[in-house]
Amino acid sequence: MELQTSKYNLALERYQKKIADASVEDMVLNMGPQHPSTHGVLRLELITDGEIVKEVIPHIGYLHRCFEKHAEALTYQQTIPFTDRMDYLASMNNSHAWVMGIERMLGIDKDIPKRIEYIRVLVCELNRIASHLIAIGTYGIDIGAFTPFLWCFRDREHIMGMLEWASGSRMLYNYIWVGGLFYDLPVGFEERCREFVDYFKPKMVELNRLLTDNQIFISRTANVGVLPLDVAINYGCSGPVLRGSGLKYDLRRIDNYSAYPELEFDIPIGTGQMGTTGDCWDRYKVRVDEVDQSVRIIEQCLDRLQKELKRTPDFDPRAKLPRKLTPKAQDYYIRCEGTKGELGFYFIHDSDRKEIPFRVKSRGPSFCNLSVLEELGKGVLIADLIATIGSLDFVLGEVDR
Amino acid sequence: MSFDDIKQLLIDKFGEAVIVGEERTGMQPALLIDAERIADVCLELRNNPKTYFDFLSCLSGVDYGVEADRFGVVYHLSSIPYNLQLVLKVSKEAGRDLEELPSFPSITSVYRAADWHEREAFDMLGIYFEGHPDLRRLLMPDDWEGYPLRKDYANAEYYKGIKID
């Protein structure tokens, strides 16, 4: 098909010419979309000179489902299952962000019972551990260590089982609702969760011995893919990628939403322990440390859920559910700390009577974290590029939405 | 720095004309900026030691509807050192002709994060960003026709002769 030449096509023509020229002098190598180390359907077009990558051109959109268009046609409550499918490894965190945004627009965010807030934080942190376990495990595979992957999946399976028990689904939960929850936690959940925590803590020590302090792993990741802090900020990186570059920036502390101000936890950052600050090992280590912090948060949540916020027979998690979700006409941007970084939703609500947003924009953390790859991929070895991709830990469901 | 301080700071630097208006209805007030000056405003807000808006949280293209015939871009900036957030908006009236897209200055020279966000807005809403280094479609295929997030978008029935179900 012939494209008409206008100024809107100039960039496309420049790009096509660049690829045509590069295939004469250098080699153009397509990595993906079905490549196992691209963590989903990501296609990277590499312009290579031997083993050296001269330029990386990411092509995304293979998983594009037009979330924003769906959101413009459905009510706020109906869109919650769609948010689950953005970052499908951490569905709870997505719906938590979405729900909080609507609660603030409705002005009911202060009326949510404490027990509900704590249950939300509990399931979100469980989900964060599950997501980080995948990041850690698959990163091991990228580097060539197979065992940690199986160990991580074994432990993650316990979390999946618990969340399935609570919500009825293994990955896409639709559990957090506007103004409440789908159901209260099942009886015995807290005890089972405590069992899991006791089981899980030594497993993390074991995993650290196997992977984190492994000399082969350190040699492959330390001083590789160094992301300086100013570049990270300018590219809009957030979450473990930004913290790996050495900045203590966690929206759970900065925005103090939900039950987080009452909970104690540290914010791990990259320190350049094995090489340079902001290298792949630092980003990996931040995730490992965050798992430990999430365990701490879960223990505190369990303490409160079993004592002062104990389950009572008349407790109804759907009691505060608004009958109609009709916020006042306004714009609102909600941001919160997803597992990959700053997860934001921008709502434009144009009418007091409508239940459907006029426009929704979702800001996926993986989207911005992935865009830095063009910068990191200049002049590195192909094998190091694999290590860098894994350390960024993106989910294509969230990049493409 | 409060919202009014930032507004005053911009007026002192660029003159009254740079701020077209403001919105204070919601919980997050917004400054409406003259569309042609947005890149300068962002650069000033980023570099000024009193504000340091160094982080572009979100950039959203908006189609304000078929009757309004207005397109806009909303910028959510945040300042990590001062823990501030700011919303900037630009908009202009524009037709819906696919050959004549609404055009705004690109802010990629200020925030590299804007690169993909602007490509997405171009891809989804057909907003052209003047001065963007590589404004190709991002999520849709390169030869896709039309801009899916526009309010008057009719679903494509065929793509390269293949029927879309």
Q: What is the pLDDT of residues B73-105, one digit of tens each?
A: 999 999 998 888 889 999 888 888 877 888 899
Residue A200 placed within a domain: yes
Residue A14 placed within a domain: no
Q: How far apart are CA B108 and CA B119, in angstroms?
A: 10
Task: Identify the closest residue of chain B to A347 by CA–CA distance.
Answer: B60
| B26 shares contact with chain A (CB less than 8 Å) | yes
Residue A326 placed within a domain: yes
Measure in Å the smallest separation between the Cα of B76 and chain A Cα atoms. 8
Residue B87 and residue A15: Cβ atoms within 8 Å?
no
Put residue A2 in one of left, alpha, beta given phi > 0 → left and psi -120 to 50 → alpha.
beta
pTM higher than the cut 0.80: yes
| B139 shares contact with chain A (CB less than 8 Å) | yes
Residue B148 and residue A66: Cβ atoms within 8 Å?
yes
Per-residue CA distances from B13 to A66, B43, B91 (Å): 40, 12, 21
Domain that holds residue B44: 3-163
Q: Helix count (H) and strand count (E) of chain B?
A: 3, 9
Per-residue pLDDT tens digits of chain A, which is 401 residues long: 444 567 888 888 888 888 888 888 888 888 878 877 777 788 889 999 888 998 899 998 888 888 888 888 888 888 999 998 888 888 999 999 999 999 988 888 888 888 888 999 999 999 999 999 999 999 988 888 888 899 999 999 999 999 999 888 888 888 998 888 888 888 889 999 999 999 999 999 999 888 888 888 899 888 888 999 999 999 989 999 999 998 999 898 888 888 898 898 999 988 888 888 888 999 999 999 999 999 999 999 999 888 888 888 888 778 778 888 888 888 899 999 989 989 999 999 888 888 888 989 999 899 999 989 988 888 899 888 888 988 888 888 888 88
* Closest in B25, B63, B142 to A12, CB measured: B142
CATH number at residue A299: 1.10.645.10
Residue A64 and residue B139: Cβ atoms within 8 Å?
yes
Mutate to test the interface with A, among B59, B77, B85, B112 (most CBs of A within 10 A): B112
Residue A371 and residue B115: Cβ atoms within 8 Å?
yes
**In which residue are the tokens 């947005």 written?**
B38
Contact assessment for residue A28 and residue A57, using Cβ atoms and an 8 Å cutoff? no
How many CB atoms lie under 10 A from the CB of residue A82? 23
| A182 shares contact with chain B (CB less than 8 Å) | no
Looking at the structure of chain A, the number of domains it has is: 1
Instruction: State pLDDT tens for residues B45-57.
Output: 888 888 889 899 9
Chain A 105-164, CB below 8 Å of chain B: which residues?
none
Collect all residues of chain A within an 8 Å Cβ-Cβ radius of residue B113.
234-236, 368, 371
What pLDDT, on the 0 to 100 scale, is given for residue A297? 92
**In which residue are the tokens 């037709």 written?**
B95
Collect all residues of chain A within an 8 Å Cβ-Cβ radius of residue B135.
8, 11
Collect all residues of chain B within an 8 Å Cβ-Cβ radius of residue A15.
134, 136
| B42 shares contact with chain A (CB less than 8 Å) | no
How many CB atoms lie under 10 A from the CB of residue A212? 18
Residue A12 placed within a domain: no
Looking at the structure of chain B, the number of domains it has is: 1
Chain B 65-94, CB below 8 Å of chain A: which residues?
65, 74, 76, 80, 83, 85, 87
Find the length of chain B: 165
Residue A358 placed within a domain: yes
| A187 shares contact with chain B (CB less than 8 Å) | no
**ipTM score of complex:** 0.89
Instruction: State pLDDT tens for residues A243-284.
Output: 999 899 989 888 888 889 889 899 998 888 888 888 899 999
What is the rounded (10 degree) CA torsion for A260, A266, A267, A269?
-170
Residues 6+ apart with CB under 8 A from A77: A177, A178, A325
